[in-house]
Every structure is written in C-alpha cells, then in structure tokens.
C-alpha cells in the first residue's frame, strides 16, 4: 500500500505517521531526511542539492522528483509493504511529474491522507507549546497548561518556547503551505484519491477515520 500523508505544520502528521508504521510495514520517507542522507553520503544528487542550498535557493522541483524516485526505485526497504511519503509532492509540478513517473507501476499512489486542521487551531498548537528544559515535559498554554504559569509541574523549572514560532512568521508559513498545497490536493481530488480527515479532534477518532479509509 502506497500512502501520501499531507498536512500543515502542527497537523499531527508525525504522530499519525508513527502509528501507521506500527500497524503496516511501510517505508517512511520524508524529503527532509532524503536531502540530509544524500548530502551526508555525498551522492551526485546530494551535491547538486547542496549547491542550491548553499546559494540560499530552494531545491528545484525536478531535483526533488529525481531524489524521491531514486529512493523508491533503488533504495526502498525490500521488506516494506509500500511507502509512506511525507512532505512530497509539495507542489503541483511535483505531483504531475510523480504521477507521470509512477502511473501503472507498483509505485503509484493508493491513498492520500490529508489532515485538515483550521489555521486558528494550528496556531494555538504551535504558538502555545512550552517545554521544560530540565525534564523534557511538553505543555501547551491552550490545551495542557501547567498548574502555575510558566512553571513545570513535574520539576518546578521555568518553561521555554521556541523563538522562531512567532505569530507573524507562522502566519506566513501556513499561508505558503496552503498556497502550494491546495493545487496538489485539487489534482489528487480529481483522481478520487484524497481522504480529507478532520484532524481537529482527539487521537482515537482521527485514527479510526484513517483505518476506515485505508480499508477502502
């Protein structure tokens, strides 16, 4: 079974990817990891990607496509019952190229899981996150606040937050995500492949919807 998992930052992709891997033996591929592996192994694709990144440019679609296909065709875990692709395709051009390259093969996509969460909720999840630098406990000021403001319940240490998670930059990140991703979702919707899953809920009902979808 070949699955694409899509969703904005904070939508729970990581959590559900991990659960999927526990249930089905899928090769989980994130494009971020693919870049890092190719670069650290100094492959031809890695060197090419690095030249763009060093110059402060985005890696072009064509190179991303080649890197993903290279992995799926040559490096995929032979024991896996399919792939779980995370963070790809990110643009319409990538989706079109990927379809062209995999159509009619056993690398074609079977299911697309889109974790749909309103921006307002994503913002609270991300901006409300606090963590304890001493014991590692995670809090959220909106959903799981500590008993005393900014103090860890477990060890009493002061809580910290990630400085890059400010409201303005997050708003831009979410808007960029939608702008690039909506055409990808429309593309796959036309092919009847997208399961849009309302992911502004607790874990269990979301997971139940995912299981139901994958049985189709």
Smallest gap, in angstroms, from Cβ of residue 125 to Zn ion? 20
Smallest gap, in angstroms, from Cβ of residue 171 to Zn ion? 30
Instruction: Please say if 125 is a catalytic residue.
Output: no
DSSP assignment of 53-96 equals HHTTPPPPHHHHHHHHHHIIIIIS-TT-SSEEEES---SHHHHH
The residue annotated as part of the active site, out of 36, 144, 162, 171, is: 162
Nearer to Zn ion, 128 or 183 (CB): 128
Instruction: Give 10-15 contacts, CB < 8 A, sequence gap 24+.
Output: 10/117, 10/122, 10/123, 10/125, 10/126, 11/115, 11/116, 11/117, 11/122, 11/199, 12/115, 12/117, 12/199, 12/206, 13/86, 13/115, 15/203
Q: Which stretch binds Zn ion (CB under 5 A): 44-52, 98-106, 128-136, 197-205?
A: 128-136
Nearer to Zn ion, 160 or 198 (CB): 160
The residue annotated as part of the active site, out of 129, 171, 212, 215, is: 129
Report CA-CA distances (Å) from 35 to 43, 69, 128. Answer: 10, 13, 30
How many residues touch Zn ion under the rule CB under 5 A: the total is 8
Instruction: Please say if 212 is a catalytic residue.
Output: no
Residues 6+ positions from 32 with CB-CB distance below 8 Å: 87
Alpha helices in the chain (DSSP H): 13-23, 31-40, 44-54, 61-70, 92-102, 119-127, 167-189, 203-215
Q: What would the x/- binding string for Zn ion be over residues 130 to 169, using CB under 5 A?
A: --x-xx-x--------------x-xx-x------------
Instruction: Please say if 173 is a catalytic residue.
Output: yes
Instruction: Please say if 90 is a catalytic residue.
Output: yes
Smallest gap, in angstroms, from Cβ of residue 141 to Zn ion? 15
Nearer to Zn ion, 116 or 153 (CB): 153
Nearer to Zn ion, 99 or 153 (CB): 153
What is the spatial distance between Cα 5 and Cα 150, in angstroms, rounded to a whole number? 34
The residue annotated as part of the active site, out of 21, 50, 66, 173, is: 173
Nearer to Zn ion, 30 or 134 (CB): 134
Q: Which stretch binds Zn ion (CB under 5 A): 45-53, 56-64, 124-132, 196-204?
A: 124-132
Q: Which residues are catalytic?
A: 13, 90, 129, 162, 173
Residues forming contacts to Zn ion in the complex (CB under 5 A) are 132, 134-135, 137, 152, 154-155, 157
């Amino acid at each position: 079974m070949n699955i694409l998992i899509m969703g904005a930052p904070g939508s729970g992709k990581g959590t559900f990817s991990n659960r999927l891997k526990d249930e089905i033996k899928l090769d989980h591929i994130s494009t971020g990891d693919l870049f890092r592996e190719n670069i650290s192994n100094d492959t031809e694709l890695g060197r090419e990607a690095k030249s763009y990144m060093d110059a402060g440019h985005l890696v072009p679609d064509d190179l991303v496509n080649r890197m993903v296909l290279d992995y799926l065709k040559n490096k995929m875990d032979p024991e896996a019952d399919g792939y779980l692709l995370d963070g790809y395709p990110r643009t319409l051009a990538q989706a079109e190229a990927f379809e062209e390259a995999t159509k009619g093969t056993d690398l074609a996509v079977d299911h697309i899981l889109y974790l749909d969460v309103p921006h307002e909720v994503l913002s609270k999840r991300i901006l409300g996150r606090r963590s304890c630098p001493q014991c590692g406990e995670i809090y959220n000021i909106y959903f799981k606040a500590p008993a005393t403001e900014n103090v860890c319940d477990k060890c009493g240490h002061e809580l910290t937050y990630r400085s890059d998670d400010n409201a303005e930059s997050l708003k831009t990140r979410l808007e960029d995500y939608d702008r690039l991703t909506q055409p990808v979702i429309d593309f796959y919707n036309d092919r009847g492949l997208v399961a849009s899953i309302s992911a502004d809920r607790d874990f269990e009902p979301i997971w139940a919807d995912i299981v139901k979808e994958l049985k189709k």
